[in-house]
Structure 1
Amino acid sequence: MGTELTFCRMPLDRASTLRKNQQWLDEKLNANDSRFYFYWRGKYLYLDEKIFVFNREGSIDKLLNVLNTSEFNKIITENALTFLGTDNNVAIFVCDLSLMHDVDLKKWLEKLDLINMKFIDFRNSLSLLNQQQGAILSYAKALIHWQRSANFCGSCGGKTKAMDGGHRMVCTNDSCQKEHFPRTDPVVIMLVEYQPKSGPAVCLLAEHHRIPDKVFSTLAGFVDPGESLQEAVIREVYEEAGVDVASVSFIDSQPWPFPNSLMIGFFAQAQGMDLCLEEEELRSASWFTAQQLLDFNEWGDEGDAPKLPRKESISRLLIDLWCEKQLSVTADVIGK
């Protein structure tokens, strides 16, 4: 697949070897050309609806004459920094301000004295980002979430400290010193299809309790320990919908920073259409033809009409690919 999914196509060199060198990291932290994003509780800093990137040269946003550089240096020094990688040897960092109280954050923004500078929720700002920016910021968000969850050692409960630019947490308890590394949770997500003996193929979409009413999405679930991806697809489809799956084919994958998953997409061939729903997971589920899905509204549209998942999700990619395939087949049949 050509990976055009949101959060894919990371442009940075992660510099996994160099980030272990503290001297090199310190030099990059103080370099004039190093770039810094600013994060606060799930939001990033924007200026005039554009993601804000600071460097001490002022070359990124050409604002050196109005930026309070000393104020930025102070905030960078006093808050947690995570090294993200390099872009043509220029170091990229994210500064996590999440420990700042709302009032203190507001005062800091007022000191900067820049109109239209504000923090915007990452999920709600995706339309303001290009493909590469989305990949970088999702990476940063996932790392910060993991760091927050690893502030204390899972083995002894001791305090941990960040190493390798925030990519490793080490227990400070001398009798433990356990190392902790970022975790990614694998999730299978699958479009289940069925081909009746006559008539068009249909796919299974469901209303999940965790998303708004009238949004129909694909099935999904976490991979269990000791389970292959294909086995997880078969199990999840049966557990959630009572449908037996005959075959599974991989389509694409997508990092998903809400909070730290890897979505692994499949098409799954159902052996029948009878449904037995797991009501704790699903409000409803139905089989739809590609033609029916063309009449669905978009996520966020008003009204009671059925809606498709968000365009940035792999669930939407699976649905769109399936519809494209089915409508192409229909067109070929009509053409003959």
Structure 2
Amino acid sequence: MNNPAANCSFTQMTLDRVSNKRKDDEWLLAQLAQENCQIIPVCHNSFFFVENDLFILQGESKYKILTSELTSKVKTHQLVFLGINDSTPIFAIDISSIEEAELPNVFSNNLELVNLRATLALTSHEQASILGFANNLLHWNKSNRFCGFCGTATQANNGGHSISCTNSECKKEIFPRTDPVVIMLVEYKPENGPVQCLLAEHDRSPEMCASTLAGFVDPAETLEQGVIREVKEEVGLNVYDVEYVKSQPWPFPSSLMLGFYAKTNDPTIKIDDDEIRDAKWFTADEVRAFSNWGDEDEHYKIPRKGSIARYLIDTWLEAN
């Protein structure tokens, strides 16, 4: 297997988020009214495609959804501003509340609804980054329709990039959150023989799909401490030389993957059965013989292209 390290999905954002202007509602309405404005419809965390091309509301179809009776069903927090791409304003709209039978009133009948993960096979890194951003921001808006402090309904501000409580005695302002997740490739160098990396089968993954370890960062914990703790909890190893490598937004729905390498001088594995099904040490040559994620055979599978787990493994293979 020859897989040079490639860019991770969702990392090639090309939009200018125009954070200094999007706070102005009149400016946002002016962008929405522009002839070249594009609106990406999102339905239950999925996107519409026509013959493998992303379907975007623009021109007549854009005005249909903004002026038709369907607009009354588009609730607060369901239209967000993403940014500007080469003078083109781009918005996203959550139409999950619209009945499927009503969609032909606005859209053509030859649309295919594709979930965000599956869109990676149909989009460029740049387009995938925009779709991930849209999914993340709309999910956050949908999850914060009521104030977590007083329970009052909220309203979207700043093009969907902030939310405020409508209770005049509360007025709590809320901003999008990102959940930090450390993901790490652990290395062991025996006294005799080639260097090895640790790969694990996770309970949430198919059989024979081996990947890196990962876990959420705890409150009041540094990223390095998170790496050390997660490795210890999941496979019982003590690690050192924790080295940051690369990050990747992971909009499922709102994580930021932070990639690390770490080393251990004791290869004894003690698996946490609650999270890990199996974990083993592999040499670089053994990993190169793995099949790809999704292949239907009895070999071990390497994580899918575009994931930071794949990036960490590919980069390690290049060095070994």
TM-score normalised to structure 1 length: 0.88
CA distance in 1, matches of 2:297, 2:290: 11
- CA drift of 1:172 comes to 1.1
Letter in 2 for 1:283: R
User: Paired residue for 1:170?
Assistant: 164
Identity of aligned residues (%): 42
Asked if the contact 2:38/2:62 (under 8 Å) is kept, the reply is no
Assess, with a 3 A threshold, how the Cα gap between structure 1 residues 106 and 324 changes in structure 2: closer, same or farther.
Answer: farther
- CA drift of 1:88 comes to 2.6
Aligned-partner SS, 1:127? coil
State whether structure 2 residue 110 is matched by structure 1 residue 99.
Answer: no
Aligned-partner SS, 2:317? helix
State whether structure 2 residue 221 is matched by structure 1 residue 223.
Answer: no
User: Paired residue for 1:154?
Assistant: 148
User: Paired residue for 2:246?
Assistant: 252
From 79, 82, 85, the equivalent of 1:84 is 82
Assess, with a 3 A threshold, how the Cα gap between structure 1 residues 68 and 241 changes in structure 2: closer, same or farther.
Answer: closer
Asked if the contact 1:188/1:264 (under 8 Å) is kept, the reply is yes
- CA drift of 1:14 comes to 0.5
Letter in 2 for 1:190: M
- CA drift of 1:31 comes to 1.7
Assess, with a 3 A threshold, how the Cα gap between structure 1 residues 68 and 19 changes in structure 2: closer, same or farther.
Answer: closer
From 64, 70, 74, the equivalent of 2:64 is 70
User: Paired residue for 2:236?
Assistant: 242
CA distance in 2, matches of 1:194, 1:212: 26
Could you report, residue by residue, the CA deviation over 1:30-76 in whole angstroms, capped at 9, with x for unpaired residues? 221111111000111112210012222xxxxxxx6xx6953564356
Asked if the contact 1:3/1:9 (under 8 Å) is kept, the reply is no
CA distance in 2, matches of 1:323, 1:24: 49
Unaligned runs of 5+ in 2: none
From 103, 110, 113, the equivalent of 1:108 is 103
State whether structure 2 residue 200 is matched by structure 1 residue 206.
Answer: yes
Letter in 2 for 1:268: A
- CA drift of 1:226 comes to 1.2
CA distance in 1, matches of 2:64, 2:273: 56
User: Paired residue for 1:278?
Assistant: 272
Unaligned runs of 5+ in 1: 57-63, 327-336
Asked if the contact 1:6/1:313 (under 8 Å) is kept, the reply is yes
- CA drift of 1:120 comes to 1.2
User: Paired residue for 2:13?
Assistant: 10
- CA drift of 1:116 comes to 2.6
Assess, with a 3 A threshold, how the Cα gap between structure 1 residues 162 and 251 changes in structure 2: closer, same or farther.
Answer: same
Q: How many residues align?
A: 312
